């Protein structure tokens, strides 16, 4: 279903549409939140509360981008609130950077002003990758292309795309570890 | 405590100062310890969470649509007390707008799907919506909410306007008569009245409010509104004709004088009177509170002691919804209320629901009316 249409249907308090959105986004949102909370029960609760909020306030919602981006942003904020509760802060945005580079959460949740700096850091890490690998990675993660689309775009086979991505992820993991140290070495 | 310190602890170890800080945090709560343990286990690879979406949905489903507390009960109690105390003033101040309800104004209607259709005398049809700024042709000019017909010579054709669900439309005829058309209505009218000895328009279906220019300004030509079963002959006046039910026409006279013609009968109606004609038969003429029947032209739904069935008949013309009553008895529950039309259906449903006498489920364009449950 078209995202804007879904939003319209939510505003009409269409429960079926709401359930559909819930079923689509619940698992990825919980997985996303878990990267902050490391507590599945907490993440499930706060994702559920986010959905309830959306349902109950659908008429008032002003969603500039997509409903998806809105959901991810809301879950991120609530997850950060939980961290605050357990006296943790992530002022270097390490969790965001890590999510940005390693998960399939893509640009879904990118939204705010301070994300510019974060993106830049992520870009810096990407610079460490070979050029072709970099490009494949960007097409996949940042622009949401499918394997097939990337293969066509770059004139390589789908298998090559897959291997390159796997390697890219591995390299990023290592780069991330280095990044973590950058902040406190 | 910085998240980065936890990573450093895992990856590299902390210096004594940092370790002290960590221990303080770590020992202060079991939630902190759990966090660190899980972080240690999972932080570099994606965890395989077992997420039970349908169980979560059941939980969410139970929580929505049920007020978390009795807030409304208190609100209602408060309003009742206030209402009691201010009783005399309330009646003194009674004006058409007096019980403007507690509705928050919300920008726009959701259900604008179709536009207003104007068919000109040459049979050309134009569909326009509120976003269209200017509509013009050789003898007409307007925008998405109104159209004015100019009086020009040698035009004798018939025009029509069809107003869809959820809209209203203002039309000024070539004689200066103003017509407000309610949702789901169709009016036929000639471009010019010059060629005939009367001014005749046809309300094919729906509801219209007329402010007719006096005959004396129009070469003594009477204004006539034709319906399926009746004609209204006007000398110069404001009145409302409602013809939503196939065989029933309700005419309400606001001011002036009109003659109601049906079959061979002619009845003179006075201001404040309402006639109901049903299948050629005049059911009767009675005195009514006129504003109740014409509030719609001011953008309001006004229900006075109306059964839910009637209320939904009105709402469905505006919001394009179908209604299903779970039990027949629910159709009979009566309500009073005044609502602005330019708001979400959901708001109106919520307000009715808060009386705790019925409950609604909206699914696409279907509304299910059910028994209220605590």
- Whether residues B61 and B35 share a domain: the answer is no
The CB density around residue B336, as the number of other CB atoms within 10 Å, is 12
pLDDT computed for residue A104 by the predictor: 55
Decide which of A133 and A49 is more confident: A49
B284 inside domain:
yes
* CA-based radius of gyration for chain B: 31
Q: Is the pLDDT of residue A101 over 70?
A: no
Q: What integer is the mean pLDDT of A143-153? A: 76
User: Nearest CA of chain A to the CA of B4: how many Å?
Assistant: 7
Q: Which residue has the tokens 């999510």?
A: A99
* DSSP symbols for B95-156: -TTTT--SPPP-S--S---S-EEEE-TTS-EEEE-TT---EE-SSEEEETTEEEE---TT--
Range of the domain at A101: 94-182
pLDDT computed for residue B44 by the predictor: 63
Q: Is A184 on the interface with B (CB under 8 A)?
A: yes
pLDDT computed for residue A41 by the predictor: 94
ipTM score of complex: 0.76
pLDDT computed for residue B355 by the predictor: 80
Q: Is B92 on the interface with A (CB under 8 A)?
A: no
- The answer to whether A179 and B10 are in contact (CB under 8 A) is no
- Whether residues B75 and B124 share a domain: the answer is no
Range of the domain at B313: 53-94+299-374
pLDDT computed for residue A179 by the predictor: 62
B101 inside domain:
no
pLDDT computed for residue A141 by the predictor: 64
- Whether residues A170 and A127 share a domain: the answer is yes
Taking each helix axis from N to C terminus, what angle separates A15-37 and A67-85, rounded to the nearest 10 degrees?
A: 40
Decide which of A1 and B353 is more confident: B353
pLDDT computed for residue A88 by the predictor: 93
The residue of chain B with its CA nearest to that of A31 is B49
- Whether residues B131 and B223 share a domain: the answer is yes
* CA-based radius of gyration for chain A: 18
Q: Is the pLDDT of residue A134 over 60?
A: yes
B240 inside domain:
yes
Chain A residue numbers with beta carbons less than 8 Å from the beta carbon of B34 are: 38-39
Nearest CB to A92 within list B4, B57, B347: B4
Domain count, chain B: 3
In b/e form, how buried is each residue of A126-142, taking b as 16+ CB within 10 angstroms? Answer: beebeeebbbbbbbbbb
Q: Is A14 on the interface with B (CB under 8 A)?
A: yes
Final residue of a structural domain among A85, A102, A127: A85
User: Looking at residue B203, which CATH number applies to its domain?
Assistant: 2.60.120.1440
- The answer to whether B191 and B149 are in contact (CB under 8 A) is yes
pLDDT computed for residue B69 by the predictor: 40
Q: Do A15 and B362 touch (CB under 8 A)?
A: yes
Q: What integer is the mean pLDDT of A13-23? A: 88
For chain B, which residues score pLDDT lower than 70? Answer: 44-47, 65-114, 130-133, 153-155, 236, 374
User: Looking at residue A165, which CATH number applies to its domain?
Assistant: 1.10.10.10
Which of these ranges, A117-126, A128-137, B135-144, B342-351, has the smallest mean pLDDT? A117-126
Q: pLDDT digits over B126-182, tens only? A: 887 766 667 777 788 888 788 888 877 666 788 999 988 888 899 999 988 999 998
């Amino acid at each position: 279903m078209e995202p804007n249409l879904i939003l319209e249907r939510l505003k009409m308090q269409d429960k079926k549409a709401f359930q559909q959105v819930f079923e689509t986004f619940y698992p990825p949102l919980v997985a996303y939140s878990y990267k902050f909370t490391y507590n599945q029960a907490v993440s499930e609760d706060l994702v559920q509360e986010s959905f309830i909020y959306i349902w109950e306030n659908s008429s008032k919602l002003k969603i500039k981008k997509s409903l998806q981006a809105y959901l991810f942003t809301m879950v991120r904020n609530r997850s950060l609130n939980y961290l605050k509760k357990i006296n943790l802060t992530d002022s270097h945005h390490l969790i965001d950077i890590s999510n940005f580079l390693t998960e399939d959460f893509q640009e879904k949740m990118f939204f705010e002003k301070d994300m510019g700096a974060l993106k830049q850091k992520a870009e810096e890490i990407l610079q460490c990758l070979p050029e072709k690998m970099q490009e494949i990675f960007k097409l996949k993660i940042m622009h949401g292309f499918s394997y097939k689309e990337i293969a066509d775009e770059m004139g390589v086979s789908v298998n090559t795309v897959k291997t390159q991505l796997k390697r890219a992820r591995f390299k990023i993991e290592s780069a991330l570890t280095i990044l973590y140290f950058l902040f406190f070495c | 405590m910085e998240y980065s310190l936890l990573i450093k602890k895992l990856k590299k170890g902390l210096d004594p100062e940092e370790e002290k800080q960590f221990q303080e945090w770590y020992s202060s709560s079991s939630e902190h310890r759990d966090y660190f343990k899980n972080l240690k286990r999972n932080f570099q690879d994606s965890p395989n969470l077992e997420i039970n979406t349908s169980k979560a949905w059941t939980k969410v489903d139970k929580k929505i649509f049920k007020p978390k507390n009795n807030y409304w009960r208190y609100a209602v109690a408060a309003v009742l007390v206030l209402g009691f105390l201010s009783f005399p003033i309330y009646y003194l101040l009674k004006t058409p707008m007096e019980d403007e309800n507690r509705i928050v104004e919300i920008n726009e209607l959701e259900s604008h799907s179709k536009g207003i259709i104007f068919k000109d005398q040459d049979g050309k049809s134009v569909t326009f919506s509120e976003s269209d700024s200017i509509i013009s042709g050789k003898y007409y000019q307007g925008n998405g909410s109104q159209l004015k017909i100019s009086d020009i010579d040698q035009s004798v054709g018939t025009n029509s306007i069809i107003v869809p669900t959820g809209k209203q439309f203002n039309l000024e005829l070539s004689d200066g008569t103003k017509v407000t058309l309610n949702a789901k209505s169709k009016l036929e009218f000639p471009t010019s009245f010059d060629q005939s000895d009367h001014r005749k328009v046809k309300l094919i279906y729906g509801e219209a409010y007329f402010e007719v220019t006096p005959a004396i300004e129009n070469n003594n030509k009477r204004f006539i509104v034709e319906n399926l079963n009746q004609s209204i002959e006007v000398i110069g006046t404001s009145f409302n004709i409602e013809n939503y039910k196939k065989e029933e026409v309700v005419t309400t006279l606001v001011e002036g004088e009109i003659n109601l013609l049906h079959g061979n009968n002619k009845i003179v109606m006075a201001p404040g009177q309402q006639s109901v004609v049903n299948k050629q038969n005049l059911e009767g003429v009675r005195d009514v509170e006129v504003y109740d029947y014409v509030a719609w032209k001011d953008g309001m739904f006004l229900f006075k002691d109306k059964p839910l069935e009637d209320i939904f008949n009105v709402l469905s013309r505006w919001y394009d919804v179908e209604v299903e009553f779970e039990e027949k008895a629910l159709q009979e529950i009566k309500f009073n209320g005044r609502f602005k039309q330019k708001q979400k259906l959901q708001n109106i449903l919520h307000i009715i629901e808060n009386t705790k006498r019925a409950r609604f489920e909206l699914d696409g364009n279907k509304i299910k009316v059910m028994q209220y449950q605590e």
